Amino acid sequence: MKLNLIGVVGLIGLLSLSVGARAQGLVGGAEEGAHRGNRAAGPVGAVVGGAIGAGVGTVNGALGLGYHHHRCYWRHGYRHCRY
């Protein structure tokens, strides 16, 4: 009985993590898409980019793929990266 309860609680926990990741991707994707669309085509591009970014962000969030932004630069002969 206890083993079944632990299995059900674990399954609910895993499903809730998936929903959280999907929501994170939705907001981040919409924000990134709206920003890039606004820079490329103005207000109309922001609306279209936000919608497309939300869709792509949701799929990436469901699959567990994130947007990894990092900046690299050379200084004193060495390559430095900020993640």
Q: What sign results for the dihedral spanned by CA atoms 12, 64, 25, 67?
A: positive
Q: Tens of pLDDT along the chain (83 residues)?
A: 777 778 877 777 766 655 555 556 778 888 888 888 898 888 888 989 889 888 888 787 777 676 666 678 888 888 888 76
Q: What is the pLDDT of residue 2?
A: 73
Across 1-83, where does the E strand assignment appear?
71-75, 78-82
